[in-house]
Amino acid sequence: MDELEWRQDAVPVSTRFQDAYYSMEDGRAETSHTFVQGNDLPRRWPQMDQCTIAELGFGTGLNFLETVRQWLKYADAKATLIFVSFEQYPLEASDLARALAPWKELENLASHLIKLWSPDFEILDEMFDDRVRLLVFIGDANVRLPQLEFQADAWYLDGFSPAKNPQLWGPSLMEQVALHTAPKGTFATYTSAGEVRRNLESAGFRVERTPGFGRKRHMSRGILSDADVAHEH
Ligand SMILES: C[S@@+](CC[C@H](N)C(=O)[O-])C[C@H]1O[C@@H](n2cnc3c(N)ncnc32)[C@H](O)[C@@H]1O
């Protein structure tokens, strides 16, 4: 369980990591720019009958909910979204409710999530609508991810900043991310830290730096390269 402070009475900040869960400017718009657009999903979705997205750091569920909102808008009505996320320090349902309250467009989806949510589970596996399956694995992603078999079409790398939360950005975890990425799969992250980019490159991604959200100059995104370095290790 994690202890929170609230900045501007609205944005949750982890006391453990001394970092905010998302942008002070507009967390929903940041998610859309960094993760949904960063993985080029609105363009890719109409051609897919199933899409698997994986995330490091479920936090408040904001990334998940904004992704579902856009999925229901852009994807084929018969297609299924599988969203797999990892969280070591799950929040209380009341914290999710407070964090997610500012976004009216997410209200119905958020209330569904809040009803299901309990920080006591080990795995949450629930359907949203009949077109979205959410799986959240509680525990250290470094331990949980290698135990699982799936291939993500897109990754959201959303740990706290690499300086404060280095466990979620290390070379062996980035290698696991690559091993759990489908051919031509992608990742996106708000950080452009050199070490993270190098770890992702060594794991087999072609990495580029693109404009970040709001005041952030740069973010990073990438595609699993054909050479597929990680799989040869
Ligand atoms: C920036 S927040 C994620 C925000 C989230 N995506 C959202 O939409 O609210 C980073 C999250 O990573 C989690 N975390 C940190 N280290 C972790 C680890 N080793 N394994 C799994 N989760 C971790 C934190 O508890 C926190 O919830």
Instruction: Give the residue, out of 95, 168, 169, with the most ligand 1 atoms within 8 A of its beta carbon, to mutate for a pocket test.
Output: 168
pLDDT of residue 2: 67
Model confidence pLDDT, tens digit, residues 175-231: 999 999 999 999 999 999 999 999 999 999 999 999 999 888 999 999 999 754 445
Q: How far is the CA of 209 from the centre of ligand 1 (A)?
A: 22
Model confidence pLDDT, tens digit, residues 102-151: 999 999 999 999 999 988 889 999 998 899 999 999 999 999 999 999 99
Q: pTM for this one?
A: 0.96
Q: What is the mean pLDDT of residues 88-96?
A: 96
3-state SS, one letter per residue, for the chain: CCCEEEECCCEEEECCCCEECCCCCCHHHHHHHHHHHCCCHHHHHHHCCEEEEEEECCCCCHHHHHHHHHHHHHCCCCCEEEEEEEECCCCCHHHHHHHHCCCHHHHHHHHHHHHHCCCCCCEEEEEECCCEEEEEEECCHHHHHHHCCCCEEEEEECCCCCCCCHHHCCHHHHHHHHHCEEEEEEEEECCCCHHHHHHHHHHCEEEEEEECCCCCCEEEEEEECCCCHHHHC
Model confidence pLDDT, tens digit, residues 51-63: 999 999 999 999 9
pLDDT of residue 226: 76
pLDDT of residue 233: 45
Closest residue to atom 5 of ligand 1, CA basis = 59
